[in-house]
Structure formats: C-alpha cells, structure tokens
A and B are shown apart, each in its own frame.
Chain A
C-alpha cells in the first residue's frame, strides 16, 4: 500500500511537468496550428531564468578571511549579505521562488518575440517545415545557453524551509513509511494550480472565450471583426510562460543543464499525441497518466517481471494508444487527421 502511494506521488510530480509542457504545446497547436519543437527549449530557458537569478543574487565580493592567520585567505561574501545581513541570506535562500516571479515577464517577452519574429511566418507552411525550423531554433537556444553557462548541470537548491521530506505516512496512520520531499509535493500542487489557472482563464474570461472560439473556427471569429491573430500571439506568450514556470520549478528537483529541454520535449510530444493533438484536457490527462505509469514501471517488482520496461513504457504506451485510438485519448475529429 505505502509503496503504491509513493509511486503514485512520484509519478504525479513528473506527470505535472509533462502536463505543463504538453499543455503549452497543445495551446500553440490548437490556436496557431504550429508544431513547436522549440517548446522544450522554453522549458530550459525557464530553468535558466532561475539559474541566472540565483547567480545575480549571489554576486560576491572577495573579503579577506580573518579567521585564517597563517596566510592570506579570501572568502566570498555575497553583496546581499554585506548590505542586508541576515535578510540578504534569506533572499538568497529564496532564489527559486523569486525567479518564479521574474520568469513570468521574461518568458512572456521571449514568447512574444519568438512568435512575432519567427513563428508567424510559418502559419501556412507544412508541419514538416514547422518542425524543422523550430527544431533549428531549439538547437540555437540550447547552444547559446551552453556557451554562456557551460555544459555541466548547475545546482539550484530550493529554500531551506522546504528542503526536507514530508512524512505522509501519518495521514494513513503508518508513520515513517511514505517519506516524500516537500519540494516535489509543492511541484505537484503548483502544476495543478497553473493548469487550473490556464483552464479558468480560457473558460471564464472574455479573452479566453474568444480564444476558444478561434480554436473552433478561426475564420468566423475573424469575420466578426475580432483580431484573432493578436490574441493567438498572446496565447503563445502564455504557453511560453507555462513552460518557463515548469522549468523554474523543476530546477531544485533536477539541476538544469543545456539539454534538459530536449529530454522533456521528446516525452512531451509523446504526451501530446497520446492525449490527442489539440485537446487541452487530453494533454493534462496523458501527462499525469504517463508520469504515473513510468513511475510504476520503474518499481523493482515490475522490472523483475519485464526487464527494461521502465525505459520504454512511455513510448510503448504511445504506440499502443495510436494503434487503438488513432486520435489519441481525447482527440477531436478533424484535427491533424491523416
């Protein structure tokens, strides 16, 4: 039982990341009709927002270390500490949550620039060309990050307060059995909140209504005198923000390196296809589903029955789903038929 719950939780937080990226991909595909292979790069850029903020906050001054008297020793003291003392240290400790706030405008701007500068010229070109040009863009972004930050993963720890693990066993009356890091719990709730936010935005605002109408029938909405294209551009920005936030929040779980985006991209595409191209609930459902399945497949009990299943489960599921339900789990009719 406890192992079951633990695997479930493990799958849910990973599934949260998949769901967030897949949600953005589906938003872009559903509105602009563009297959965005650079979406993983947006996730990576988000993660590196956190890295940059952390670096900025810990900019340090070299100070002579008085405690060592044999030779001249220097230690680095962050400016924030010299200026604000303990408050400064607290600020540094909260680098990741601060980056979360900073990432929203940054990712929005990056998304808008990307859409206006490149994507809009590809609305009417074939999907193959869209894939190829965004793939090229992903390579460029990732190599730029590599040139700036190097190729090694950069640890960006979560705040001290949530560094430990929660003993969830207490909830079930069996303390000590289900120990789960706080940050992963936070990630799960965060992804649920963001997903809820995006859905609420689309469902309950006028803007969202227009966007949904545009997804259904772009031409008619245009004929009604609504500038759909501008709204879709903003949707692209929102998708970029969602991917970026997913990236920021993931940094304490996995220290980011320059190709973290590519790894998530491949899986997210599989998630999108399994969920059904163009279906937002499908993307979220498939994200969590595949996350959980992957987590269960990596249990030792399962691996001993089918060796290697943990490595291929997601792809295997994708193949099966596409054979049985050609449009994915919740795919609409008429979207990317072929």
Chain B
C-alpha cells in the first residue's frame, strides 16, 4: 500500500542528516511560521509535537511492519496515568514522569503484544482493540482508585511528592505546576520541551527505519510467510516493533500530562486509537515525515474548524446574495464547529479512496509531474525509493 520509508532526498547518510537538520529547524521555528497560518499559540504547537510523536511511533508498527493496531490509545492513556502518578508521588519534574511512562507503556506493550502478535491481519486488530477496550472499561470502573474514574486523575497540593519533600521545596498550598528543573512546562517552554523530544523521536525512528532491524520489519510487511520459510523467527522482531511503538505512545501520553497534568480514561477509547490511524494514513503510512504531517494537519484543522461558528461563516459568505448566503452558511455549518468530525470523515474517505499513500504520495506525484515537464532523463528519486 505504501512506499518504503524514504526522505524527500533519497536515502544516503548525508542526505538523512540534511533531512534531520531541516526537520529540526522547521520544528524549532514553528512558533514563527505557524503564526502565519493562525496556529501560533503554544497549546496547538504542543499538540502538533505530541501527536506527531504518537503517530511516528504508530507508524513503526503499522507503516513498517504492516500490523494495524486498533488499540494504540491504551498506551497513550497508560503513559498519561503513569506520568501523573509520577508527579503526585515523586515530584513535578517531567523527566522522571517521561521515564516511568515509557517503562510502564513498554511493560504493557510487552504483555499485550506477546498475546496479540500470535495472530495477524484482522485478528490482530481485534485483539488489540479488545485489550484497549478492556483497559478503558477497567479505568472507568474497578480501577477508579488508581485512575480516579470519570473525573480524571489530577495533581493536588496535598500529594506527597517525595523528591520535593526531600529537597524541602514542597508547596502544600497552591496547585503545583509541572517543570523541568524549575522551568515551568506551560506555554512556549512546554512546546520547546515537546519539540526537542519530537526531534529525538524522529531521529530514533529514522535510525530504526534505516537499520537492518528496520529492513527486517519491512520484509515482514511485504511477505511474512516467506520470511518464515527462509528460517527467520519473525516474532521477536514484531514484538520489538510493537514495544517500541507502545513506548512512543507512552511518551506522547507523558508529554500530554506534562503540558496539562490531567489524565482521563477517554484518552484510551477506541476512537482515540482510530484517530492515530487517521493521522498516519493521512500523512502517508510507511514514510518518516508523513505521520508528523498528518498529525499536524488533523490537529490544525481540528482547532481551526471547531472554532468556526455561524457568525464567522456569515462574514465569510457576505459577498453572496442574502438567500444564497444563508444556504451556504447552513451547508458549511455542518462541517465546522461541532460538526468538524464530519469534515474529518469525508477527508479521510477521500484520502483512502484516491490517495492511499496520503499527503506524502501527493507530494511525490507532484514532484514527478515537475520532473517530467522538465524533460530530464535522470533517475527519479521517488520511483527509485518507492
């Protein structure tokens, strides 16, 4: 379905480095250029980085290995809960929270992956979905002492926070905020923290995709039966991919909790798992940059579209005659504000039907078009890497 992972610049080590530097530059300067498209506020930028990470991790499993997990949000939720517990018990520093969230997510992924990966195809999807739903239902019911049920888990001034207690800086009056050694994780500092983690995550994903391990995963995707016949035991590889991808999700969950110390079970619901699938597909499964793009596009339009209301629409269409204006507003009103999911569904269907490779395939097609019109006969990076 999707091409092998490739940067827009081929696959040599040097071009990878350039690609990474460009990516890092684009991410770090996001506050500058995002304000041009009306996205220049830290809240949204943080979401870009966090869901970008989530999608990168999901892509390692889905895009590289070809296993469609429908329960990945469970790891996101587990990561969030662990992070908030780390805030409550250890202290408001985000580093231990991130560390423990990744460890817990990895343990969960090991257990779930060990069982689910015994099957593939739709059975695998259903198994992961079943585990995610179990986690979600339990988080809402029996595990309320740990998850605080529907209210969600929050940080309270009266929490023990042992590390802060030892250092003698525990503030038991006001609600504490998360920090990185004193640097508060709200606003732009929070974004830059997420951005740096995103770049590291991107780098690791790139290394994985280029490594022999990554090649093995791609081989499993293209023909697992043949892999088995040639004597490879594919299970350790798929399990490793599942765990790595779960850790990414746990990391994303921890970052969500770091920028806003609250964890709720709704993060684990299967629609949340569906969302990360959408992001990956929209951007381009199997590509490095695609998932990040997909996540950014979805989160961007979610913010922009949900903010629209009839007033704004009326102004947009005020160049039309009045009756037409009302009709246009009524139709467009379906797709924005509360109804933004409708837009998402339509766009998603169009992408799957007409552009299964997502945005990245779109870019590649456009590139090809230009190459052809140049009339140049040199080899085409797109087809070579596809």
Asked if A and B bind, the verdict is yes
Q: A139-B341, A319-B127 are in contact. Are A336 and B122 (CB under 8 A)?
A: yes
Q: A136 and B122: CB pair below 8 A? A: no
Q: Main secondary structure on chain B at its contact with chain A?
A: helix
Q: Which residues from chain A contact B173 at a C-beta distance below 8 Å?
A: none
How long is the Cα–Cα vector from A326 to B122 in the complex, in angstroms? 12
Q: A316 and B134: CB pair below 8 A? A: yes
Residue from B1, B123, B345, B356 within 8 A of A326 (CB atoms): B123
Q: B118 and A127: CB pair below 8 A? A: no
Does A206 belong to the interface (CB within 8 Å)? no
Q: Using A128-B1, A136-B352, A336-B121 as known contacts, list a sample of 19 further A-B pairs with CB atoms less than 8 Å apart, ordered by residue number in A.
A: A126-B1, A132-B352, A133-B352, A133-B353, A135-B348, A139-B348, A140-B349, A143-B342, A143-B345, A146-B339, A273-B123, A311-B140, A316-B130, A318-B127, A319-B127, A326-B119, A326-B123, A336-B123, A338-B119
Minimal Cβ-Cβ distance residue in B for A309: B142
Tell me the A268-326 residues at the B interface (CB within 8 Å).
Answer: 269-270, 273, 277, 307-308, 311-312, 315-316, 318-319, 322-323, 326
Minimal Cβ-Cβ distance residue in A for B224: A338
How long is the Cα–Cα vector from A140 to B140 in the complex, in angstroms? 28
Does A121 belong to the interface (CB within 8 Å)? yes
B interface, CB within 8 angstroms of A: 1, 68, 115, 118-123, 125-127, 129-131, 133-134, 137-138, 140-143, 270-271, 274, 277, 281, 334, 338-339, 341-342, 344-346, 348-349, 352-353, 356
Q: A139-B344, A140-B342 are in contact. Are A121 and B353 (CB under 8 A)?
A: yes
A-B pairs under 8 A by CB, number: 113
Does A240 belong to the interface (CB within 8 Å)? no
Q: A308-B141, A312-B138, A319-B130 are in contact. Are A135 and B274 (CB under 8 A)?
A: yes
Does A144 belong to the interface (CB within 8 Å)? yes
Does A35 belong to the interface (CB within 8 Å)? yes
Of B125, B126, B338, chain A has the most CB atoms within 10 Å of the CB of B126
Q: B342 and A144: CB pair below 8 A? A: yes
**Which 7 residue pairs spanning A and B have beta carbons closest together?**
A308-B142, A139-B345, A311-B137, A315-B130, A143-B342, A136-B349, A140-B345
Residue from A35, A118, A266 within 8 A of B133 (CB atoms): A266
Does A262 belong to the interface (CB within 8 Å)? yes
Q: Which residues from chain A contact B342 at a C-beta distance below 8 Å?
A: 139-140, 143-144, 147
User: Range of interface residues on chain A?
Assistant: 35 or more
Interface string of A49-76 (1 = CB under 8 A from B): 0000000000000000000000000000
Q: Which residues from chain A contact B349 at a C-beta distance below 8 Å?
A: 118, 133, 136-137, 140
Q: A129-B352, A311-B142 are in contact. Are A322 and B129 (CB under 8 A)?
A: no
Residue from B129, B141, B142 within 8 A of A266 (CB atoms): B129
Q: B345 and A270: CB pair below 8 A? A: no
Minimal Cβ-Cβ distance residue in A for B70: A131
Minimal Cβ-Cβ distance residue in B for A144: B342
Q: Which residues from chain B contact A137 at a C-beta distance below 8 Å?
A: 345, 349
Q: A315 and B133: CB pair below 8 A? A: yes
Q: A319 and B1: CB pair below 8 A? A: no
How long is the Cα–Cα vector from A140 to B339 in the complex, in angstroms? 10
Minimal Cβ-Cβ distance residue in A for B67: A128
Of A129, A273, A315, A326, chain B has the most CB atoms within 10 Å of the CB of A315
